[in-house]
Amino acid sequence: MNDGAPFGTIAIVGLGLIGGSIGLAVQQALPAVRLTGFDADPDVRCRAQTRTLVHQVTGTLELAIRDADLVILCVPVRAMGDIAAQMAGVLKPEAIISDAGSSKAFVADAIRAALPHQPLVPAHPVAGTERSGPEAGFAGLFRNRWCIITPPDGTDPEHVSAVSALWHALGARVEIMDAAHHDLVLAVTSHVPHLIAYTIVGTASDLEEVTRNEVITYSAGGFRDFTRIAASDPTMWRDVFLSNKHAVLDILQRFSEDLTALQRAIRWDDGDALHAHFAKTRGIRRSIIDEGQDDARPDFGRADHSA
């Protein structure tokens, strides 16, 4: 341990947007930490080494994790259980397992089943972009963004403190939450919004009376924002929806009831109902901005994401 860093060696499994960003951010904030990394895709391994996302990209999972004090899984959520199973018997007994997955209860159950005795401190940096892969990462991704930590019951508080200290060092604000509550909150704030974006962009491109060219040419603000979200990685989002099925379906049910109420207001020319609804939602946007969370992606709009 060194320079106040909470871990001596950190292994990152999955060297895409999130794994790569963690690697770059650790090198910037905690230069004494030794970083190893592994990715199942040999081409990604090569590109990750070229960008020096970690100090050493290894050819096998075993080589990346065997000396690690902390292993962070940064792969699609449904791949995490298999990786945990492959790590059994290789890890140091005291090594902490963490992850960056967008859904938490499913992932914790999968890791716990494969590694029942290993310290486990799941985390979710609520920061990202629609881009993926080893070229997409940048060191500033987590600055001023939330990282939600969801320790299972009985987790050693010192392990939680060490993982919190890491995320603080990367510039994040840390919140501790129960995994099931996290999954419900994120279903509302992230998962269902992504599903809505995937839906509306698909609907627009399927409209026979509107050409694809017109969809591109006349993409004004709202639709344009949806196309950014709907460009997000298909594998990652397939896994998010299937792993957080119950919360997503629950929120979708409420969403479709609320949509029906708005549909009804339009059908019956109920301007008061529409106005009251829009005034309420405008207030929510203003409170997000007052909290300093208006597009808080630190480098948003900058071409150079390397800093």
Ligand X SMILES: NC(=O)C1=CN([C@@H]2O[C@H](COP(=O)(O)OP(=O)(O)OC[C@H]3O[C@@H](n4cnc5c(N)ncnc54)[C@H](O)[C@@H]3O)[C@@H](O)[C@H]2O)C=CC1
> Which residues of the shown chain bind ligand ENO in the complex (CB under 6 A)?
102, 126-130, 190, 229
Nearer to ligand ENO by Cβ, of 61 and 229: the residue is: 229
Q: For residues 46 and 210, which CB has a smaller minimum distance to ligand X in the complex?
A: 46
Query: Cβ of 252: how many Cβ atoms within 10 Å?
Result: 16
User: Where are the alpha helices (H) located in the chain, listed in sequence order?
Assistant: 17-29, 42-50, 61-65, 80-87, 105-114, 157-169, 179-186, 192-206, 212-217, 221-230, 234-243, 245-267, 271-290
User: Quick one: which of 126, 171, 141 has its CA closest to 305?
Assistant: 141
The SS3 assignment for 120 reads: strand
* Angstrom distance (rounded) from CA 32 to CA 4: 9
What is d(CA 223, CA 255) in angstroms, rounded to the nearest whole number?
19
Under rule CB under 6 A, residue 41 binds ligand X: yes
Residue 102 makes contact with ligand X by CB under 6 A? yes
Instruction: Answer whether 225's CB lies under 8 Å from 285's CB.
Output: no
Residue 133 binds which of ligand X, ligand ENO, none (CB < 5-8 A, kind-dependent) = ligand X
Measured from the CB atom, is 68 or 163 closer to ligand ENO? 163
In the complex, minimum distance from the CB of residue 127 to ligand ENO, in angstroms, rounded to a whole number = 6
Smallest gap from residue 143 Cβ to ligand ENO (A)? 14
Closest contact distance (angstroms) between CB of 278 and ligand ENO is 22
Choosing among ligand ENO, ligand X, none, which partner's interface includes residue 190 (Cβ < 5 to 8 Å by kind)? Answer: ligand ENO
> What is the nearest approach in angstroms of ligand ENO to the Cβ of residue 123?
11
Q: Does 24 bind ligand X (CB under 6 A)?
A: no
Among 54, 77, 160, 195, binds ligand X (CB under 6 A): 77
Task: Based on the shown chain and the rule CB under 6 A, indicate whether residue 64 belongs to the binding site for ligand X.
Answer: no
Helices 105-114 and 80-87: crossing angle, nearest 10°? 20
Name 34's Cβ contacts closer than 8 Å, sequence gap at least 6: 8, 9, 10, 55
Q: Which residues pair with 34 in a beta bridge?
A: 9
# binding residues, ligand X (CB under 6 A): 29
> Is residue 22 a contact residue for ligand X (CB under 6 A)?
no
User: Which amino acid, 9?
Assistant: T
Copy the structure tokens of residue 195: 């599903």
Burial of 236 (0-12, 13-18, 19+ CB in 10 A): buried
Work out how close the CB of 169 gets to ligand X at its nearest, in angstroms, rounded to a whole number: 18
| Residue 18 interaction partner, one of ligand ENO, ligand X, none, beta carbon < 5-8 Å per kind | ligand X
Under rule CB under 6 A, residue 74 binds ligand X = yes
Site string for ligand X, 123-162 (x = CB under 6 A): --x--xx--xx-----------------------------
Does residue number 17 form part of the binding site for ligand X (CB under 6 A)? yes
Taking the C-alpha atoms of residue 306 and residue 20, their distance in angstroms, rounded to an integer, is: 11
Q: Does 101 bind ligand X (CB under 6 A)?
A: yes
Min. distance of Cβ 130 from ligand ENO in angstroms? 5
Report in angstroms how near the CB of residue 215 gets to ligand X at its nearest: 24
Residue 67: CB atoms within 10 Å = 14
Which residue ranges make up the site for ligand X (CB under 6 A)?
13-19, 39-41, 44, 74-77, 79, 82-83, 100-102, 125, 128-129, 132-133, 233, 236, 240
